[in-house]
Amino acid sequence: MKNPRLMPMTRLMLTLLSGWAGQGGSIETTIGIIAKHIGRCRRQVFRYLQDALEEGYLYYSRTKDRIGRYTGIKIRLNFGAIRFTRCRTPKNRSKTAQTLDVTFESDTNNKYIFNKDSDPGMWDKLSRFAASAGFVLPDS
């Protein structure tokens, strides 16, 4: 989102709210919670909300409880204006067809190192467990 008319922190707040909204829907929060997350005062966050509202990036309304006290705000985002939707070109675009067909070797270590020393205490416990379960261990 590149809009020179927006304040820089408004863009940051819209990015935060877009992440909170996920795939869509509305966000129910308070101005104080947004202010805490972006490190600004509540009045400044209110200015950011007004700035985004004027540019058409979001719509918000205040929420009330049953008595009529204001409890927070409900924000609806305009995802068409906020999120970047153009398909990006792949980074490995300059590779030829011959190099794309090559199977690359993995960079894992193929040297399997096993400890050959047998632990008699472990084998005693395993044989007791196998005997209690009804299995017979082969002698090796």
CATH of the domain at 15: 1.10.10.10
pLDDT at residue 104, as a whole number = 64
Domain of 16, in residue numbers: 8-82
Say if 39 falls within a structural domain. yes
pLDDT digits (tens, 9 = 90+) for 19-63: 888 887 889 999 999 999 999 999 999 999 999 999 889 999 999
Instruction: Evaluate whether residue 114 is within a structural domain.
Output: no
pLDDT higher than threshold 60 for residue 93: yes
Alpha helices in 2-119 (DSSP H): 8-21, 31-38, 42-55, 79-82, 97-100
Residue 71 has pLDDT above 80, yes or no: yes
Whether residue 33 is contained in a domain is answered as yes
The pair of structure tokens assigned to 11 is: 């863009």
Tell me the average pLDDT across 121-140.
82
pLDDT the model gives residue 139: 67
Q: Domains in the chain: how many in total? A: 1
Using an 8 Å Cβ cutoff, are 41 and 35 in contact? Answer: yes
Query: Is 116 a member of any domain?
Result: no
59 beta partners: 76
Judge whether 126 lies within some domain.
Answer: no
Residue 108 in any domain: the answer is no
Arithmetic mean of pLDDT over the chain: 82
Give pLDDT, residue 63: 92
Flag whether 115 is in a domain. Answer: no
pTM of the model: 0.57
